[in-house]
A and B are shown apart, each in its own frame.
Chain A
């Protein structure tokens, strides 16, 4: 570890603290979302599907902290239960896209030559396609639903991850320690998987956390459009779309609250992602 002895210690820590509160707040938001996803049945006051036709479109009150929707369901409970499909969807989307993207990106960088050219052309073309088009294609071939929308979106996200991985892999491969491994007789697959990839991970993780927020939003939009999760799921995008009918009558809560939830979680993951990349980059 190196310590900069010339830096004025007091100002350094005080400015640092001022810059860090958004990070801690965002981390807290993410922890809360994860707790909601894992422990929904324990922490939610009501069942997400429990209807109450005597209490439709209720404003926030002591019994329903965030009010009720068009079927009299408790919005707070639905948002809490919605964390699971919303977060799991984004995680699955990112997992599939990352495996695909990293595989393509590292292969292109490592093999070079025509393999690189071919893979780069394919990802460029996919990159230029609007993501929604993939999903519509996948849904046209299969059927609407959470699995197809996640897979379709994963196809849309993979090219960006592939491009990013390729560029950081090329940069890393210019370091002679990679040549040293080659000279030791390490084969390409082992070199990429055991030595190159772990050295890319710090950079990759920060990028993926930022992408997570984007993925969450993309999936929510799909669900809003009716391509993904279907009722009675309380996935957040779907909640916004179901709450829409209230907006016409001047009741904004049922659409606004899940919408805000999405926005807050997305911003939080962005802040954490950017912070994480900075921190990990410094350690290099």
Chain B
């Protein structure tokens, strides 16, 4: 059974005064298995973030629904127990690493805060050990535990954000442009990390990006969006080899639009070889 089942999601934003309403998502459906991953690609404004936010319930869909292990997640939960259970179903990592952490909390207190909420059974020493594990998993040096966000680089912050999401032990992790703000070598490290986590923890990933080269590295299936529409959906290898929709072909050849460029891919592969060789 699929961990994540998305059925005919739709969202239209009312247009600002005097403007047409914006259809940000229309009839978006897909399935993701445990340990599987789906990439969502498309250029700016194609509705990727809207879909991601609907998956986790931050934006309410006009149509359709999102099920995680058979439970609907696209509606807000009432009551503490239900909210905590929801949190363990699905988590999200946000695009901007500079504002996605609470600037008051050190790395350690940020993670401890999540553990206190979601794993209150852990004793103090166990929680400390778990924080060590999490930092290890995302490849953050333990000497950074006392640092606050302003003392960390973008890549380090993004790792903290991923660790924070993992601390909840979710079934599904949604990453919205999680590496777009980072430079290529850091991107490659985080993508490797995500692949490892997916295999080790059986987490289902939804990986949103405008960059096909990046998406190709972490996903086994890709959904291409254009102006809110699902224009093409296929296994990653197949889609990259034989794009059927002209928009996908355009993204792949990528003359004006963002995405696939041979140099870019070569660059990424080189960075990958580097990080893999090191670990």
Report A's interface with B, CB cutoff 8 A: 1, 175-177, 179-187, 195, 198-199, 284
Contact = CB atoms under 8 A, between A and B. Distances in A.
B99 A185 contact: no
A185 B165 CA distance: 12
6 contacts: A1-B150, A1-B151, A182-B58, A184-B114, A199-B103, A199-B104
A176 B151 contact: no
B94 A185 contact: no
Nearest to B113: A184
A183 B56 contact: yes
Chain B contact residues (Cβ within 8 angstroms of A): what range? 20 to 34
Contact of B87 (A176, A183, A195, A284): A183
B114 A179 contact: no
Interface of B: 56-58, 77, 80, 83-87, 90-92, 94-96, 99-104, 114, 117-118, 150-151, 161, 164-165, 168
Given A184-B168, A185-B83, A185-B86, A176 B104 contact: no
Among B85, B102, B150: residue with most chain A CB under 10 A: B102
Contact of A199 (B57, B95, B102, B161): B102
A186 B56 CA distance: 14
A211 to B, nearest CB: 24
Nearest to A181: B102
A187 to B, nearest CB: 6
Contacts of A199: 102-104
Contact of B99 (A177, A183, A187, A195): A177
Given A186-B117, A195-B102, A284-B103, A180 B94 contact: yes
A141 to B, nearest CB: 40
B83 A180 contact: no
A181 B105 CA distance: 13
Contacts of A180: 92, 94, 100-101, 161, 164-165
Contact of B58 (A179, A186, A187): A179
A175 B92 CA distance: 14
Contacts of A1: 150-151
B242 to A, nearest CB: 37
Contacts of A183: 56-58, 87, 90-92
Nearest to A182: B58
A187 B104 contact: no
Contacts of B101: 177, 180
A204 to B, nearest CB: 14
Contacts of B94: 176, 179-180
A110 to B, nearest CB: 13
A158 B168 CA distance: 40
A187 B82 CA distance: 11
B205 to A, nearest CB: 16
Nearest 10 A/B pairs, CB to CB: A185-B83, A176-B94, A185-B87, A175-B99, A185-B84, A176-B100, A177-B102, A184-B87, A177-B100, A177-B101
B117 to A, nearest CB: 6
B102 to A, nearest CB: 5
B185 to A, nearest CB: 22
B102 A187 contact: no
Given A183-B87, A185-B118, A195-B102, 14 more contacts: A1-B150, A1-B151, A176-B95, A180-B164, A182-B58, A183-B91, A184-B117, A185-B77, A185-B80, A185-B86, A186-B83, A198-B104, A199-B102, A284-B103
Nearest to B81: A185
A198 B105 CA distance: 11
Contact of A176 (B80, B83, B99): B99
Contacts of B118: 184-185
Nearest to B79: A187
Contacts of A175: 99-100
A184 B84 CA distance: 7
Contacts of A186: 83, 117
Contacts of A185: 77, 80, 83-87, 117-118
Nearest to A187: B80
A179 B57 CA distance: 10
Which of B85, B95, B150: most chain A CB closer than 10 A? Answer: B150
B96 A176 contact: yes
Contacts of B95: 176
A197 B54 CA distance: 27
Contacts of A284: 103
Nearest to A174: B99
Nearest to B93: A180
B17 to A, nearest CB: 17
